[in-house]
């Protein structure tokens, strides 16, 4: 049994699946809350702040992808880990789900024991990430008029709030919190997506490109180190230009 019960939402339009998963989670000591209607998830998540949401994609009304995007776009729910549990096996579906901010993508059918192992791994990883963030970086990172607010997942460029999906934000915040240090693509994949989630090296490149587009004149802060990876440089010329 867990010393502190973590709350997990289980969202699927098939009641039998919800019952099976919640039963096995409860056996492991978690507090499992089952839901078959995606419409109620966002409000309850904002109020109760669960430690994890296990989410089906193919649901009537608001599907899992739309719901994940909504969760990631609101500061009250942006940090809640999301695990997709779905029968959609296409590579494009998996890439889209992860790019929208899911922390894991698990395919049905899956045995309860394997699912529990994935849940434990994800919760350990997010807990360690939160611990490292508290230790290594302040809540707000600033360079000139660029502000990265880690507490509510917001980025301000020249006084304008700019939306970054969860993975883009985490990648930007991690690089910015470790200025001048070069990270390989594999290191960034493991740090941001985790070792249990399969994504290709190009995923990092795509996210970096999107981040640069949104940073405007601060885009040069993210430098490509040819043949190695990426680093973030707090450039004095940009600070002077912004002041």
Torsion sign across C-alpha atoms 170, 171, 172, 173: positive
Res 132 pLDDT > 60: no
Rounded to 5 degrees, φ, ψ at 196 are -90, -5
Homologous superfamily of domain range 7-134: Response regulator (3.40.50.2300)
What pTM did the predictor assign? 0.63
* Res. 240 pLDDT band, cuts 50 70 90: low
**What is the distance, to the nearest Å, from the Cα of residue 228 to the centroid of all Cα atoms in its chain?**
24
Residue with the bigger pLDDT between 103 and 138: it is 103
| Class of the CATH domain delimited by 137-242 | mainly alpha
User: 220-225 long-range contacts, Cβ below 8 Å, gap at least 24?
Assistant: 221/143, 221/146, 221/176, 222/172, 222/175, 225/182
Alpha-carbon separation of residue 219 from 93, 138, 139, 209, 215 (angstroms)? 29, 21, 21, 9, 5
* Res. 94 pLDDT band, cuts 50 70 90: confident
In 3D space, the residue among 170, 184, 168 whose CA is nearest the CA of residue 226 turns out to be 184
The set of residues, in sequence order, having a beta carbon less than 8 Å from that of 60 and lying 6+ positions away, is 13, 38
Instruction: Average the pLDDT over 197-209 and give the result.
Output: 79
Give the C-alpha separation, 177 to 148, whole Å.
Answer: 10
Which SS3 state, helix, strand or coil, does residue 3 take? coil
Angle among Cα 183, 186, 188 to the nearest 5 degrees reads 55
Range in 119-128, 166-175, 204-213 with the lowest mean pLDDT: 119-128
In the chain, ranges of CATH 1.10.10.10 domains: 137-242
Give the C-alpha separation, 26 to 226, whole Å.
Answer: 49
Which of 121-130, 136-145, 163-172, 199-208 reaches the highest mean pLDDT?
A: 163-172
- Write b or e for each residue in 178-217: b if 16 or more Cβ atoms lie within 10 A of its Cβ, otherwise e: eeeeebebeebbebbbbeebebeeebbeebbebbbeebee
Give the C-alpha separation, 194 to 187, whole Å.
Answer: 10
pLDDT of amino acid 101: 82
In the chain, ranges of CATH 3.40.50.2300 domains: 7-134
The set of residues, in sequence order, having a beta carbon less than 8 Å from that of 74 and lying 6+ positions away, is 42, 46
Instruction: Average the pLDDT over 192-209 and give the result.
Output: 76
Res 38 pLDDT > 60: yes
């Amino acid at each position: 049994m867990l010393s502190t019960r973590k709350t997990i939402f289980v969202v699927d339009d098939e009641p039998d699946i919800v019952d099976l998963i919640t039963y096995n989670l409860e056996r492991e000591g978690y507090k499992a809350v089952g839901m078959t209607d995606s419409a109620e998830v966002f409000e309850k998540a904002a109020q109760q702040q669960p430690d994890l949401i296990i989410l089906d994609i193919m649901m009537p009304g608001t599907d899992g992808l739309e719901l994940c995007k909504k969760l990631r776009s609101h500061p009250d729910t942006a940090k809640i880990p999301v695990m997709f549990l779905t029968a959609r096996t296409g590579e494009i579906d998996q890439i889209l789900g992860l790019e929208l901010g899911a922390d894991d993508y698990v395919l049905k059918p899956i045995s309860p024991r394997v699912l529990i192992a994935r849940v434990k791994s994800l919760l350990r990883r997010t807990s360690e990430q939160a611990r490292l963030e508290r230790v290594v970086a302040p809540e707000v990172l600033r360079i000139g008029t660029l502000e990265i607010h880690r507490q509510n997942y917001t980025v301000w460029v020249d006084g304008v709030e700019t939306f970054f999906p969860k993975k883009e934000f985490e990648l930007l915040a991690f690089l910015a919190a470790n200025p001048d240090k070069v990270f390989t693509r594999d290191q960034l994949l493991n740090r941001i997506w985790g070792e249990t989630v399969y994504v290709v090296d190009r995923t990092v490149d795509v996210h970096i490109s999107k981040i640069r587009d949104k940073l405007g004149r601060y885009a040069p802060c993210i430098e490509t180190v040819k043949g190695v990876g990426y680093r973030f440089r707090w450039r004095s010329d940009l600070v002077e230009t912004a002041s």
